[in-house]
Amino acid sequence: VSGAKNAALPILAAGLLATEGTSKFYNVPKLSDIKTISMLFESLGVKVDYKPEENTLEMDATKPLLTEASFEFVSKMRASVLGPMLAREGSAKVAMPGGCSIGSRPIDQHLKGFEALGATIIQDAGFVEARAEKELEGSTIFFDFPSVGGTQNVIMASCLAKGKTTIVNAAQEPEIEDMINFLIKMGAKISGKGTSILEIEGVEKLVGAEYTIMSDRVEAATYMIAAAATKGDVLIKGAPYKDNVALVSKMREMGVNIEIVDEDTMRVSNKLDMLKPVDVKTLPHPGFLTDMQSIMSVLTLLAKGTSTITETVFENRFMHVKELNKMGAIIATSGKEARIAGVRKLSGAEVNATDLRAGAALVLAGLVAEGTTTIGNIYHIDRGYNDFVGKMKSLGANIERIEEIMAYEMS
Ligand code: EPU
């Protein structure tokens, strides 16, 4: 399993806070999103040396940064750069962030946090600007919802603020802990890691550091579910149980064998012709991760009986359903709920990836379907899966990449 996209992006953004020294990151995945953020940083005046084949990235952000992040880069991915830019330079103008179209994805909680620290927010057509007339000052911020990006952005903004900031109802995802670990290595003072209340004591400066990005728990989940769906037996390295407890519990409920080999390795196998149906509800961590629900839905198609998936985090994350139904699935959605009949047999079809995780779900469906499945718009998959085709092939999958140019090389 490669390094985590959703940890790497905020950790690289945190690297913008270093006014002294360079940072070097290891286990950086080869993904188009990492290429995009590198190009964004270069456009701000940061020196970046991204070596995707070596999975390393070095950056030197010590020169003053430009304060405007262009639409060209920010629209292609979702990274929290407004907070660190504001903290560093006292003002920042950023195009509205992109990423997967899985709902309206407002950033009101991020902005509320910056305002509490003393910034003024100006929102205009497609842009948001944050300005601090004087030094940012620590404050107490309550999130209405534990937003992942909001928590990351406000932590970064408050690291260099004067005094103490308290974030109440903070998101607790492992990717946030990973970012906090890096910030602490840079000299930040943050307590409450892994809980819903975080305290950040502002410091004078942060210094570049070396850091190894955590493994991608969604990528691990994808191979775990692929193993179960194809009745395989796969040893997955870079898959810590502690980061995927909800998934392991739900897969075991269905009858899948999961052995926790060591703190970093799991072995997933399945011999059952008929898995048990299951009810899954997505929630903020430690609940079931929304990024895994489309992939999990493929496994529930192989169960005997009806499963339900309730999506509570994003309002529009069932776009894969129409595509799976083209392959013989019987999935009915109503509002936040999808009811999935265990059809136990799928047929190959021409389908389209509608977002990153939906794309992975279609690959898994294609692996279990009879006949050939052709998947379009695979640039979505390139945003988040390092060498998906190569790794699947090494497990015995019959899969070819038809579109030869990776989104990575195009960007
Ligand atoms: N929300 C608001 N206001 C805000 C912020 C969020 O209403 O100010 C809402 C969103 O609209 C959404 C919910 O809160 O309905 C969750 O959003 P959150 O901010 O927690 O998510 P995010 O930071 O936009 C990250 C990941 C997503 C992942 C979610 C949830 C990155 C780059 N993205 O998004 O990953 O699904 O957390 O865990 O870290 C993916 O990798 O495929 C992906 C979409």
Among 2, 5, 6, 357, residue to substitute to test ligand 1 (most atoms within 8 Å of Cβ): 6
Which residues does residue 404 pair with via DSSP β-bridges, in sequence order? none
Q: How many CB atoms lie within 10 A of CB 236?
A: 23
Q: Which of 11, 16, 92, 100 is catalytic?
A: 100
Task: Determine contact, residues 318/338, Cβ cutoff 8 Å.
Answer: yes
323: left (phi over 0), alpha (psi -120 to 50) or beta: alpha
| 162 in contact with ligand 1, CB cutoff 6 A | no
319 φ/ψ angles, rounded to the nearest 5 degrees = -70, -20
For residue 84, is the peptide bond before it cis, meaning its omega torsion is within 30 degrees of 0?
A: no
Task: Determine contact, residues 50/9, Cβ cutoff 8 Å.
Answer: no
Q: How many CB atoms lie within 10 A of CB 137?
A: 16
Atom of ligand 1 nearest to the CA of 218: 41
DSSP-derived secondary structure for 174-206 = HHHHHHHHHHHHHT-EEE-TTSSEEEEE--S-E
CA distances from 57 to 12, 22, 109 (A): 9, 11, 30
Please name the residues in contact with 297: beta carbons below 8 A apart, sequence gap of 6 or more: 307, 309, 320, 321, 324, 331, 338, 340, 361
Give the separation between CA 107 and CA 97, rounded to whole angstroms. 9
Give me ligand 1 centre to Cα 370, in Å: 35
The alpha carbons of the chain give a radius of gyration, in whole angstroms, of: 21
DSSP-derived secondary structure for 48-59 = EEEETTTTEEEE
| 100 in contact with ligand 1, CB cutoff 6 A | yes
pLDDT, residue 411, reads 43
pLDDT category of residue 60 using cuts at 50, 70 and 90: very high
Atom of ligand 1 nearest to the CA of 289: 38
**Above pLDDT 70, what percent of the chain?**
97
Nearest CA to ligand 1 atom 29: 148
Nearest CA to ligand 1 atom 6: 147
Q: Which DSSP state fits 357?
A: H
Which residues does residue 47 pair with via DSSP β-bridges, in sequence order? 60
**Mean pLDDT value across residues 16-21:** 98
pLDDT category of residue 26 using cuts at 50, 70 and 90: very high
| 126 in contact with ligand 1, CB cutoff 6 A | no
Give me ligand 1 centre to Cα 102, in Å: 9
Give me ligand 1 centre to Cα 149, in Å: 6
pLDDT category of residue 75 using cuts at 50, 70 and 90: confident
CA distances from 1 to 217, 341, 362 (A): 8, 31, 19
Whether residue 70 has pLDDT greater than 90: no
pLDDT, residue 106, reads 86
pLDDT tens profile 321-364? 999 999 999 999 999 999 999 998 999 999 999 999 999 999 99
Nearest CA to ligand 1 atom 40: 291
DSSP H or E run through 310: strand 306-310
Q: Which of 124-128, 235-239, 329-333 has the lowest mean pLDDT?
A: 124-128
**Above pLDDT 90, what percent of the chain?**
89
| 354 in contact with ligand 1, CB cutoff 6 A | no
Catalytic residue status for 100: yes
pLDDT tens profile 164-178? 999 999 999 999 999
Task: Determine contact, residues 26/56, Cβ cutoff 8 Å.
Answer: yes
Give me ligand 1 centre to Cα 257, in Å: 31
**Mean pLDDT value across residues 138-159:** 97
406 versus 290: the higher-pLDDT residue is 290
Give the separation between CA 364 and CA 372, rounded to whole angstroms. 12
pLDDT category of residue 138 using cuts at 50, 70 and 90: very high
Give me ligand 1 centre to Cα 115, in Å: 20
Among 80, 111, 147, 381, residue to substitute to test ligand 1 (most atoms within 8 Å of Cβ): 147
pLDDT category of residue 407 using cuts at 50, 70 and 90: low
Atom of ligand 1 nearest to the CA of 152: 23
Q: Indicate whether this model's pTM tops 0.85.
A: yes
Task: Determine contact, residues 171/147, Cβ cutoff 8 Å.
Answer: yes
Whether residue 254 has pLDDT greater than 70: yes
Give the separation between CA 69 and CA 85, rounded to whole angstroms. 9
Give me ligand 1 centre to Cα 79, in Å: 10
Q: Which of 16-30, 75-89, 249-263 has the lowest mean pLDDT?
A: 75-89
Whether residue 198 has pLDDT greater than 50: yes
From the DSSP assignment, how many helices (H) and strands (E) are in the chain? 15, 23
Atom of ligand 1 nearest to the CA of 291: 36
Nearest to 213 by CA among 386, 345, 347, 85: 386
